[in-house]
Amino acid sequence: AVELKVEMVGIREKRLRKCLSKLKGIEKVEVDANSEKVVVTGYAHRNKILKAVRRGGLKADFWSVQNELLCAYASPSYGGLGFNNF
């Protein structure tokens, strides 16, 4: 599975799925709009998946440990420690 961070501001999930539907080898696409995390399952190359999403005009990058930390701080379950406090 390939994990991507995709900027979902004003973007519909349908558009994202359309970008990926053109690639061969993709079996499943899971989208978590809140954390902007997209998990693509299949046997397509990770770079091709990223390029397809970017070609669709979306800002995307590979998911990293840094993104996990940002989501933890931005989530309401952490007592509202959001980006507003910085």
One DSSP character per residue, the chain reads -EEEEE--TT--HHHHHHHHHTSTTEEEEEEETTTTEEEEEESS-HHHHHHHHHHTT--EEE--HHHHHHHHHHSGGGTT--GGG-
Read off the tokens for 54.
């970017």
pLDDT at 68 (0 to 100): 66
pLDDT at 81 (0 to 100): 43
pLDDT at 86 (0 to 100): 38
Q: What's this model's pTM, rounded to 2 decimal places?
A: 0.72
pLDDT at 80 (0 to 100): 42
Residue type, 79: G
Each residue's pLDDT tens digit in the chain (86 positions)? Answer: 889 988 877 767 888 888 898 899 999 999 998 888 999 999 999 999 999 999 988 899 998 866 666 655 554 544 444 444 33
